[in-house]
Amino acid sequence: MFARFGPNARQVEAFLKAIQEATKEEITRIGTVSPNFKNSEFREVIDRCKPLWPDRYAACQAAIEDSKQALGNNRTEIQEQFVTTVAAMLTVSDRLSLHDSLVLTSPIEFALRRFNRYACYNPEDFAIERFCSELSKIEGHEVYVVERPDDRGRNGDGLIDAIISRGGKKFALEHTALYIYEDQKKQDELFDRHVRQLGIAEEVETNYPGYWVRVIFPLEVFDTSKFKFNYGTVFPLLKKSILEEVGKVKASPNCSQFQRFNFVGIPFPVWIARTPFATIYWIEQGRPISRADLPICLDEILAKAIKGNLQKLRDAKQKGENRLLLLEAKTELEITLLQFVESFGRVAVHLKTELRDIDEVFLSNSISALPVKMGSRCYPDLPEFNEYKDKWLALNP
């Protein structure tokens, strides 16, 4: 797929699927929402895309041809023009500004109500693109994915996750998620499927604007040896109970004081904390590691991640490629990115030989990315760390 549509293949694939599954009403609507191709903001975005297309000519042509086939023979000229243009522009969407990207997708998303260009993404896709976006803003030059050699393991073992262009210089990028407890990935998937999709955080935000709210329930909720209940019944009831009680929780600085609730019909306890005058709404599972054990735990996780990715990065070194290891911290709010940074500083002392094969190491989470190794220097002897952090803070006041 990446070989055919380029690094944005996931978006093109989602678009083609939406066209194939579109109703007659949606296909008709494509023609009615089509923007003015001669004189409009959409036209301006097309003009800004044109210099980007030569680098991805084959991907553009493949997207155009496949979008024609997806649309079928009973299409009008304006429908074909609009659909093929959007397909071609999606192949370079990672190099567009947020504004241009919205201009590109808003009309077609209105026509095809089920179209979500990120529908085919997985967490790693989001992590790599988010990292490129953050690095682009901080470093002041374009950073984007050029290739996806691994293609989620479909192209064989031992291949690098991505090749990125960073200010015109290419890097082989390997991404690894850092989980802080056993089976966290499985637990996170269950949490997303049964809890996050209920929209509890969004409804709290709607009903209690201006609050910072945190809701925690035990990790073992999904352990069937400890709890057995109907997810489809209990979690909607949990949502209703949380919405009824949030406003009664006493505010505390930085959500530092939690109040325990034993809701009727809910077979596990729930903790809620809130503070006014903020706009963060958080629902999570409880932290299973004690503060005393946390440094040791993080050191072990980081050392394992570095050693586990060495072979791929050494292979890239033999090819003469620049190597970048992106370590994404899948943490809760108490375990901050800076705690992982401090942990890396401790681990780097003992892994000097291994780290010689990696040019740069970045630690990231869902909102930021910070360097902890550049060239031969590692945190804390890395002035760039504070430079990047200060720039990120300036960009996100």
pLDDT at position 260: 87
pLDDT at position 59: 92
pLDDT at position 278: 47
According to DSSP, the residues that pair with 285 across neighbouring strands are 217
Tokens 């003469």: give the residue.
320
What is the rounded CA–CA span in Å between residue 365 and residue 326?
Answer: 10
* Mean local confidence (pLDDT), 217-231: 80
Task: Kindly report, residue by residue over 77-128, the tens digit of the pLDDT.
Answer: 888 999 999 999 999 988 888 888 888 888 888 888 778 888 888 889 989 9
Q: Which two tokens stand for residue 34?
A: 């089509």
* Mean local confidence (pLDDT), 163-187: 85
pLDDT category of residue 70 using cuts at 50, 70 and 90? very high
What is the rounded CA–CA span in Å between residue 391 and residue 137?
Answer: 9
Task: Kindly report, residue by residue over 326-341, the tens digit of the pLDDT.
Answer: 999 886 545 678 889 9
Domain positions in the chain: 2-111, 124-180+292-395, 185-285
pLDDT at position 332: 55
Is the pLDDT assigned to residue 388 strictly greater than 80? yes
pLDDT at position 287: 46
Is the pLDDT assigned to residue 153 strictly greater than 70? no
pLDDT category of residue 68 using cuts at 50, 70 and 90? very high
pLDDT at position 114: 76
Task: Kindly report, residue by residue over 273-326, the tens digit of the pLDDT.
Answer: 887 654 444 555 554 445 555 667 889 889 999 999 999 999 999 999 999 999
Q: Which fold has domain 124-180+292-395?
A: Trna Endonuclease; Chain: A, domain 1 (3.40.1350)
Q: Would you say 219 and 188 are in contact if contact means Cβ atoms under 8 Å apart?
A: no
What is the rounded CA–CA span in Å between residue 38 and residue 122?
Answer: 37
Confidence (pTM):
0.73
What is the rounded CA–CA span in Å between residue 53 and residue 73?
Answer: 26
Q: Would you say 239 and 206 are in contact if contact means Cβ atoms under 8 Å apart?
A: no
Is the pLDDT assigned to residue 66 strictly greater than 70? yes
pLDDT at position 335: 65
* Mean local confidence (pLDDT), 207-232: 79
pLDDT category of residue 256 using cuts at 50, 70 and 90? low
Is the pLDDT assigned to residue 365 strictly greater than 90? no
pLDDT at position 263: 92
- Average per-residue pLDDT for the chain: 85
More confident residue, 209 or 260: 260
Burial of 26 (0-12, 13-18, 19+ CB in 10 A): middle
DSSP conformation class of 251: B
pLDDT at position 393: 87
pLDDT at position 247: 82
CB under 8 Å, gap of 24 or more: what pairs does 294-299 form?
294/335, 294/339, 295/339, 295/342, 295/343, 295/346, 297/180, 298/180, 298/335, 298/339, 298/340, 298/343, 299/343, 299/346, 299/347
* Mean local confidence (pLDDT), 49-76: 90
pLDDT category of residue 357 using cuts at 50, 70 and 90? very high
Residues above pLDDT 90, as percent of the chain: 37
pLDDT at position 217: 76
* Mean local confidence (pLDDT), 343-364: 96
